[in-house]
Amino acid sequence: MSPLPPQPISPLDGRYRAAVEELGEHLSEAALNRARVHVEVEWLLALAARGLFGAAPVEPEKAAALRAFAADFGAPEIARLAELEATTRHDVKAVEYLVRERIAALDLDRVAELTHFACTSEDVNNLSYALTIRDAVHRIWLPKAQGVLALLEERARAERATPMLAHTHGQPATPTTFGHELAVFAFRLRRALERVDGVAILGKLNGATGDYAAHVVADPDTDWPAVSREFVEGLGLVWNPLTTQIESHDWQAELYAAIAHANRVLHNLCTDVWTYISMGYLTQIPQAGATGSSTMPHKINPIRFENAEANLELSTALLDSLAATLVTSRMQRDLTDSTTQRNVGVALGHSLLALDNLTRGLGEVAVDRPALLADLEANQEVLAEAIQTVIRAEVVAGRSSIRDPYALLKDLTRGHRLTADELRDFVQRLDIGDAAKRRLLALTPAGYTGIAAELVDHLE
């Protein structure tokens, strides 16, 4: 057997690449190195701008050229970094040397030693990861998730008054509306996304063990924590004043836990929609040319929701692992986070793929209202709750002498299917007030939805 040409191992880089490739702009190795170059350049410019050690600020046009070098980081820089790292065997040191080459090309040798000044690799890495993860979540993942939320809210409003038989423990239960059930998911997802959006993303720049030791020796008179804070906040991050060599990654754990929670809400949505499809409450809209089953021509399989379900499980497992492990580092530093953080893109990629499938899937299903009504009519016994509750109220009001209304209705309905006529006949013979009797006689399963429709307004 001939060997295959080089192939991607992960389906995210193969079969599903089109759905997730935007993440590569932020969570690839190249994106990380671009962010590293950006941090190195900005740190050098910040130190020079302060005139530290007698350095003069970098001229505006050369500062702009350095920033353009970081912003335009592309194939030539990626190739050169690979060459440098083959010698350094250290990724951040290779980035430092790449920046120094650009500094030399701009005739900025006078500030060359400000490159990576007093920095440990983690000073550059933690800020670079913070920037790339922030942008991946807020520019790619969160808008996609908010798109699913908008679809849910739209469908919830459209189906707010569509009655549906509920199923608690898988058994026929008090009716609701389809819109109300979608609104529940929308409300849950909105809260989960607000938590994701609200996570503070931290950064630090304080040296080898977090105490500015090298900084202070080089210049005892500079307020280095103030310099660090101004720099970190200038990158759009929240300054962490107390760390070891590494930024403690607690913000990452918080973020991944929040995204994992959103994943779980969406996973529950997938399982419910799948179930409603299997029950015939939802019909799948045929897509031109699509094959549902390789052998059964009649089938349309709910693959969008099954695919989303599986990818949410993979994403959540990875996010849980990241959240659990990144918060531990032996004493002042170990390198376990170096490998784990490189898989953030994989974790978010599986979630993004699920969001893509959910977006498509929700646009390919329709509510079968006749099927919903038929199921409601076939389960008249769900009105037992309403009847026994009204009897209780009548007993309290002194308009009925019935003892143990619950037992009365249990004997009538448990294990029995009743027709609408049989139930009306039962109500006619009840010892209750005329007004209560009229309300019950007018009641149908489709009309027994309480204020489900009005509750959808809480989405506003």
Q: Which of 90, 278, 293, 338 is catalytic?
A: 293
Boundary of a domain, candidates 312, 343, 369: 369
Boundary of a domain, candidates 345, 369, 393: 369
* CATH classification of the domain holding 416: 1.10.40.30
Q: Domain range holding 222?
A: 122-287+298-369
Write out the two tokens for 377: 């009519």
Claim to verify: residue 91 and residue 132 sit in the same structural domain? no
Question: What is the number of domains present in the chain?
Answer: 3
> Catalytic annotation on 293?
yes
How confident is the model at residue 7, as a pLDDT? 82
Claim to verify: residue 283 and residue 138 sit in the same structural domain? yes
How confident is the model at residue 290, as a pLDDT? 65
Claim to verify: residue 210 and residue 99 sit in the same structural domain? no
Claim to verify: residue 344 and residue 429 sit in the same structural domain? no
How confident is the model at residue 2, as a pLDDT? 84
Q: pLDDT tens, 49-64?
A: 999 999 999 999 999 9
The stretches in the chain having pLDDT less than 70 are 288-299
* CATH classification of the domain holding 151: 1.20.200.10
270 within a domain of the structure (yes/no): yes
> Which one, of 256, 131, 264, 306, lies nearest residue 201 by Cα?
131
How confident is the model at residue 300, as a pLDDT? 75
267 within a domain of the structure (yes/no): yes
Claim to verify: residue 31 and residue 86 sit in the same structural domain? yes
How confident is the model at residue 286, as a pLDDT? 77
In angstroms, the CA 121 to CA 114 distance is 15
190 within a domain of the structure (yes/no): yes
Q: pLDDT tens, 79-126?
A: 999 999 999 999 999 999 999 999 999 999 999 999 999 999 999 999
Claim to verify: residue 271 and residue 395 sit in the same structural domain? no
* CATH classification of the domain holding 105: 1.10.275.10
How confident is the model at residue 409, as a pLDDT? 86
Q: Which of 169, 298, 401, 416 is catalytic?
A: 169
How confident is the model at residue 8, as a pLDDT? 84
Claim to verify: residue 146 and residue 207 sit in the same structural domain? yes
Claim to verify: residue 185 and residue 202 sit in the same structural domain? yes
Claim to verify: residue 309 and residue 440 sit in the same structural domain? no
Claim to verify: residue 395 and residue 422 sit in the same structural domain? yes
30 within a domain of the structure (yes/no): yes
Claim to verify: residue 323 and residue 389 sit in the same structural domain? no
In angstroms, the CA 147 to CA 275 distance is 23
Boundary of a domain, candidates 90, 119, 148: 119
16 within a domain of the structure (yes/no): no
Claim to verify: residue 323 and residue 335 sit in the same structural domain? yes
How confident is the model at residue 206, as a pLDDT? 96
> Catalytic annotation on 400?
no
